[in-house]
Amino acid sequence: MDLQVQVNKDRELSISGERQQRSSSPGAASSSSSSSSSSSAEVDVEGAEGSNTAQKIQRKRQERRFGTFKRTWNLPEDADVSQIKATVDQGVLSLTINRVQPAEPEVTNIPIS
């Protein structure tokens, strides 16, 4: 499988790729002859929802066994896009997206005259 992970200037995270159909016999159909498949692969997404909760959310997305795909998500404002890490282990893509700690508001004392 060929994967590509990108973040654009609008803070949109895109995961795209192409998976080739593997055939065991030379006369098997190629991936271009059919655009759908009854069997599927799963993509798991885990993360914490909300800035002050420790709850984990999990989502599963069914994908086909072959063909191209592209999925795009909008990242929250507190996501550190410069430190995103992607790894693949046994065919599972994992992304680590840290949150930036919000800057403490600067307090200025105003003298009362």
CA–CA separation, 56 vs 50, rounded Å? 10
CATH number for 52: 2.60.40.790
28 falls within a domain? no
Domain region containing 45 = 2-21+39-96
pTM exceeds cut of 0.75? no
Q: How many structural domains comprise the chain?
A: 1
7 falls within a domain? yes
pLDDT at 66 over 70: yes
9 falls within a domain? yes
Of the given ranges (21-25, 52-56, 108-112), which has the lowest mean pLDDT? Answer: 52-56
DSSP collapsed to 3 states, the chain: CEEEEEECCCCEEEEEEEECCCCCCCCCCCHHHCCCCCCEEEEEEEEECCCCCCCEEEEEEEEECCEEEEEEEECCCCECHHHCEEEEECCEEEEECCECCCCCCCCCCCCCC
Over residues 58-85, the mean pLDDT reads: 83
30 falls within a domain? no
CA–CA separation, 33 vs 56, rounded Å? 40
